[in-house]
Amino acid sequence: MAHHEPQVIVLPPDKEKIKKLWRVALILLLVTMVEFIIAFTLPHGPSKTFLFVILTIVKAGYIVGEFMHLRYEVKVLFWAVLVPMIFIVWMLVAFVYEGTKIVTY
Amino acid sequence: MAHSTAAVSHGKSVWDGGTSPMGVSYGKLMMWFFLMSDAFTFSGLLITYGLVRSSNPAFVGPVKDFFFSTTHWPIPEKVYDAIPFVHGVELPLVFVGFMTFVLIMSSVTMVLAVEAGHRMDRQSVEKWMLWTIVGGLTFLSCQAWEWTHFIIGSGDGTPMAEVLNGQWVQHMVQGANLHENQYGPPAFADFFFFITGFHGFHVFSGVLFNWLIYYNTATGVYDRRGHYEMVEKVGLYWHFVDLVWVFVFTFFYLV
């Protein structure tokens, strides 16, 4: 049988969508730069760690929501992915708290 | 999803079958659930790092007076302060910042490949997949250098105290391995190897998947199939790898 190249209709680029993706990338880079500045200007301590956690969650939100498109999926999928993350938060709080009670020296 | 082959019919009830209640194909849904399990694995590693770190004493005093010792946990910016080809200059976290930049950019090229796939634009998918592969390989090369630098060590090494036959003895330690390292408690290097290694292996397998997608695109597999959903599935995986790095960057290098 001869090779039949399938008839493919190529659509033009969605300029608006591509612009939005680059904007998300810019936000991610800016937040990373802010994290960098904080790392060398603020003194070490719980408030600095808290600030880092907030900025990290902002970045994670943009990656999962926009790049992985989760924000635009149906609500069942959205919550099916997000709700189990509660276990991670609990694990983090419990383990780090326990860690401060273990004396290695 | 305009070009999905998954049958999404609108029956009377989702319980009648033949519908996709979550609005995505089987493959994409399974990728999401796999990534969730992978998120738990990485959380386990990072949280254990937090546990061990918070159980070790932190360095007390101004950062400039910091010194390496097994008696306190190292400050990351004092460990990762070198970049290739530049000797004796302290550039804390600059190299790892560059690695973060590379991975975020490769995530952008990946999502552009997905966008091109929606439009059945084979040439653009090829172009963006290649850029994504280049980004992944750049990241892996950077990591190879960072590991080498970490393992070989810098300076004259650090005098480390350990208990030998019931006696505290001091000996010089240069570089790092799983048993001891010049930066701090042995667990510090262990976590470095396990966490960045496990992530690096994800990047490595991601590059292989990306290559497979590029190959299939270039040979017209997805044009014949009528949709580019495989680009989306592997795209989810690649974004997840970027997502994990965001957390590793914060909890391993910044905090």
The per-residue pLDDT for range A31-73, each reduced to its tens digit, is 999 999 998 888 888 889 899 999 999 999 999 999 999 999 9
Task: Report the C-alpha gap between A99 and A93 in whole angstroms.
Answer: 10
Provide the residue range defining the domain that includes A60.
15-101
CB contacts of A99 in chain B (<8 Å) are 50-55
Only one residue has tokens 């990241």, namely B139
Q: Considering Cα of A97, then A102, then A104, then A105, what sign does the dihedral take? A: positive
Q: pTM for the full model?
A: 0.89
User: Is residue A6 in some structural domain?
Assistant: no
User: Is residue A83 in some structural domain?
Assistant: yes
Instruction: Summarize pLDDT for B201-228 with one digit per residue, the tens.
Output: 999 999 999 999 999 999 999 999 999 9
Task: Please indicate whether, in this complex, the C-beta atoms of B50 and A17 are within 8 angstroms of each other.
Answer: no
Residue B241 pLDDT: 97
For chain A, say whether B78 makes contact (Cβ under 8 Å): no
User: Is residue A10 in some structural domain?
Assistant: no
Query: Complex ipTM, two decimals?
Result: 0.89
Give yes or no for residue B1 having a pLDDT over 50: no
Q: Is B125 exposed, middle or buried (0-12, 13-18, 19+ CB in 10 A)?
A: buried
For chain B, say whether A76 makes contact (Cβ under 8 Å): yes
Give yes or no for residue B9 having a pLDDT over 50: yes
The shortest C-alpha distance from B96 to chain A (Å) reads 11
pLDDT cut 90: percent of chain B above it: 64
User: Is residue A4 in some structural domain?
Assistant: no
Best probe of the A interface among B34, B35, B47, by most A CBs < 10 A, is B47
How many domains are there within chain A? 1
Of B23, B58, B107, the CB nearest to A73: B23
Residues 37-66 of A with CB under 8 A from B: 39-40, 44, 48-49, 52-53, 55-56, 59-60, 63-64, 66
Among the CATH numbers 1.20.120.80, 3.20.20.105, 3.90.226.10, 3.30.70.1400, which is that of B26-254?
1.20.120.80
DSSP run (H or E) holding A49: helix A46-62
User: Is residue A5 in some structural domain?
Assistant: no
Q: Please name which of B246, B199, B243, B249 lies closest in space to residue B96, comparing C-alpha atoms.
A: B249
Only one residue has tokens 């004259």, namely B156
Name residues whose C-beta falls within 8 Å of residue B93's C-beta, 6 or more positions apart in sequence: A36, A39, B76, B77, B80, B81, B253, B254
For chain A, say whether B3 makes contact (Cβ under 8 Å): no
Task: Please indicate whether, in this complex, the C-beta atoms of B119 and A10 are within 8 angstroms of each other.
Answer: yes
Write down the domain spans for chain B: 26-254
